[in-house]
Amino acid sequence: MLKKVFRSGFLVRSGHTVLTWLITLVLFLHDTDLRRFEEQGELMQPVVFSLLVLLSVMLYFTVSLMDPGFILTETVQGPLGASEDQEAMLPQATTLRLRRCGYCLLQQPMRARHCKACQRCVRKFDHHCPWIENCVGEQNHRWFLLYLLVQLGALTWAFHIALSGLSWSQVGWGPWLRTHGVLLGCVAVTGVFSMVVLVLLGCHLYLASTNTTTWEFMSRPRIAYLRSWGDGEDNPFDRGLLCNLWDFFCVCRTVAWDRVYQRAHRDHI
């Protein structure tokens, strides 16, 4: 029973939620800028900060619980998966051979990969994130990046608020730690997580701007359709910075990547 609960991600999600609201409560209870504004009747910053934290938690559960693009049935992608402007540019036939998954025995569309943690194949697989206990794939990647952006804003603001509550007027480390120990812990946690989220956000913005996934970036020599493209760093799915960002954030439909690849291969030749 406990194993099933843990595999469902209940403990990870509960831990994230408890830690988030515990740090928020500490920032309100200690002598920080938030409490000073609240005592002075200036509620704008406390309310905005609380809403930002709430938004980060909502986005966390959105990314954690939504379908990242699981392949449930064996279907071959066709032009219906592409947007209208892409469909007009793509050829009507492709000779690319689809790979069959050795675990779930389904044909994998191009850029899909089987996740051993989720035990399913995921379209445009990026990575499996243990913090959200879910894969990041074609359907939730943009939401994952938005979550990182909001989370970074909440963490850096919380870090600044925690620093505002530290006072250096007391003499002696013992009394100082007894007074500010909990707040110092909040500074350490928010500072470390701010740096981690900043690095992740920068990496995924770069990947989105080049239309590359983490799996493709890290495992290029082992991926057949990239290995056959050449030894360089060229990406067959790269349509330029603006088009890549537009496709990443605004195109919500399933894309037939085998057709995109075939068209790029034709132009490449």
Question: What is the rounded CA–CA span in Å between residue 168 and residue 180?
Answer: 10
Residue in 68, 67, 123 with CA at minimum distance from that of residue 98: 123
151-155's contacts with Cβ under 8 Å and 24+ in sequence apart are 151/56, 151/59, 151/60, 151/197, 152/194, 152/197, 152/198, 152/201, 153/52, 153/56, 154/49, 154/52, 154/53, 154/55, 154/56, 155/190, 155/193, 155/194, 155/197
Residue 47: how many CA atoms within 13 Å on its side-chain side? 4
**Nearest-10 Cα torsion for 227, 231, 232, 237:** -20
Q: What phi-psi label fits residue 108: left (phi over 0), alpha (psi between -120 and 50 degrees) or beta?
A: beta
Q: Residues 235, 224: contact at Cβ < 8 Å?
A: no
For 179, other C-beta atoms within 10 Å of its C-beta total 15
**Looking at the annotation, which residues are catalytic?**
129
Q: Taking the mean position of all CA atoms in its chain, how far away is CA 62?
A: 11
Question: What is the rounded CA–CA span in Å between residue 267 and residue 49?
Answer: 50
Question: What is the rounded CA–CA span in Å between residue 243 and residue 51?
Answer: 32
